[in-house]
Amino acid sequence: MNMIRKTVIFLFVLFCSQESLNAQPLSFERFLGKLIEEPNVRLKSIMIDEYLAQHSLPLMEGNTVYFLYRGKGKIVQMAGDFNSWEPKTTTMVRLPQTDLYLHIEDIPRGGRMEYKFIVDEQWILDPFNKRKAPGEFGENSEVWSKEYQSPTDIEPLQQIPHGTVDTMYIESKILNRRIPVFVYTPFAISKEQRLPTLYITDGGEYMSIGKMTTVLDNLLSQQRIKPVLGVFIDPRTNLNDQRTNHRREDYTANDSFLDFIEHELAQKIERNYPATHSAKDRFIMGASLGGLISTYMVMLRSHFVKNCAAQSPAYNQANKAIMKLFEQIITLDVNVYMDTGTINDTQIEARAVSVLLQEKGAKMNYSEYPEGHNWSNWRARVDDILVYFFSY
């Protein structure tokens, strides 16, 4: 919301009319005006109690979201998708003579935003909001526009067969460390079948937060996709210790990581699982930096893999290595799926790269969604990726 509108609303609540508080329906801005005009501090508190008891928070009116925090705190800030998770840019306003704090934002039609409150430097969930979204560093509160539709394919269907997941640890000589890998094999495949293989970066989180094995089971049981092997590569040496996460090293245009997949991992997968051996049947995908390295690989190693999916790809990272590749490459015979959010996500660089890929001859499927840079956005598109590449 721009500063002019915020100023107008502030003036409105200061000088709003003397209509009865009991008039229905009572918009939030009218309630604010009544609250500010009430001279009695005790009655102010009662008015807040009654209003909060009758409304779900955060409050939505049209495409405007009113975030409310009530409690003690010298400084109450907010961080979320709307401000790129920078709390210093958003300090909530304390309403005079109350313990109620307010911040106002607009949400796009069909959009969804994640956020947290920061009360005297302590990050907390919104205590009034029951909606929560999983994230890499724990849960966040979230708000949906009235038109937002939550994904259904991430919920397990009842009484369907399930694929199997094997866990292996590869001692990589190229990366000089132990790599956890989870291999999903679909149910009911014959011994003669040879399957396409999808390599997934940030594999543990695509499984745990992204619910990708559930989506695979659901789509396969509904015969919406062909059988596919899923190879989930985790960047952590120790799955229980984020300090052992090597994604910033591996995924920032690291040729050694490409060598690991091509010369160590793929050879082991194709020896021990029913995987095909052709580039057109190999796929790689990832989100953020994982989207960067997936695009980087398909551009440099199309002799090995010809398909990639990039979600909110962080192409401005790694000294803009992806942009520099276009100066070297004449043509690309590859197939790329790309999606990004539009709320402080990677849409600017994603749009630019999608155009350049098409100019080089790549087949391109590009989409934008009114969400931020987070796992709930990405997991909602997993079914789209799988259907795009593996539909009958």
For the stretch 309-318, pLDDT in tens is 999 999 999 9
Nearest to 332 by CA among 303, 309, 352: 303
Q: Is the peptide bond before 313 cis (omega within 30 degrees of 0)?
A: no
pLDDT value for 26: 59
Dist CA 112 CA 22 (whole Å): 32
pLDDT value for 192: 86
Question: Mean pLDDT across the chain, nearest whole number?
Answer: 93
Does domain 164-390 fall under CATH 3.40.50.1820? My reply is: yes
Question: Is the pLDDT at 25 greater than 70, yes or no?
Answer: no
Question: Is the pLDDT at 198 greater than 80, yes or no?
Answer: yes
pLDDT value for 272: 96
The answer to whether 153 and 219 have CB atoms below 8 angstroms apart is yes
Mean pLDDT computed over 125-152: 95
| Locus of tokens 């003669």 | 192
Provide φ and ψ at 200, rounded to 5°.
Answer: -120, 115
Question: Is the pLDDT at 20 greater than 80, yes or no?
Answer: no
Q: What sign does the CA torsion over 116, 210, 109, 59 have?
A: negative
Nearest to 135 by CA among 370, 310, 378, 311: 378
Question: Is the pLDDT at 30 greater than 60, yes or no?
Answer: yes
Dist CA 240 CA 5 (whole Å): 46
Question: Is the pLDDT at 5 greater than 90, yes or no?
Answer: no
Mean pLDDT computed over 8-25: 42
Question: Is the pLDDT at 7 greater than 80, yes or no?
Answer: no
- Model confidence pLDDT, tens digit, residues 61-73: 999 999 999 999 9
Question: Is the pLDDT at 132 greater than 70, yes or no?
Answer: yes
- Model confidence pLDDT, tens digit, residues 77-110: 999 999 999 999 999 999 999 999 999 999 999 9
Taking the domains of the chain in order of start, what are their residue ranges?
3-144, 164-390
The answer to whether 339 and 366 have CB atoms below 8 angstroms apart is yes
| Locus of tokens 């067969």 | 161
Dist CA 138 CA 128 (whole Å): 18
Question: Is the pLDDT at 24 greater than 80, yes or no?
Answer: no
Q: What sign does the CA torsion over 172, 175, 181, 184 have?
A: negative
Mean pLDDT computed over 348-362: 98
pLDDT value for 309: 98
Whole-model pTM: value is: 0.91
Burial class (CB in 10 A: 0-12, 13-18, 19+), 186: buried
Mean pLDDT computed over 290-318: 98
Strand pairing class (112-119; 76-80): antiparallel
Q: State what percent of residues in the chain have pLDDT above 70.
A: 93
Mean pLDDT computed over 179-192: 93
Dist CA 254 CA 260 (whole Å): 10
Q: State which fold the 3-144 domain adopts.
A: Immunoglobulin-like (2.60.40)
75 vs 9: which has the higher pLDDT = 75
Q: State what percent of residues in the chain have pLDDT above 90.
A: 90
pLDDT value for 13: 43
Structure tokens at 329: 């490459």
Mean pLDDT computed over 305-330: 96
| b/e map 290-313, b = 16+ CB within 10 Å | bbbbbbbbbbbbbebbbbbbbbbb
Mean pLDDT computed over 295-309: 98
Burial class (CB in 10 A: 0-12, 13-18, 19+), 351: middle
C-alpha torsion 161→167→173→177, nearest 10: 130
pLDDT value for 137: 84
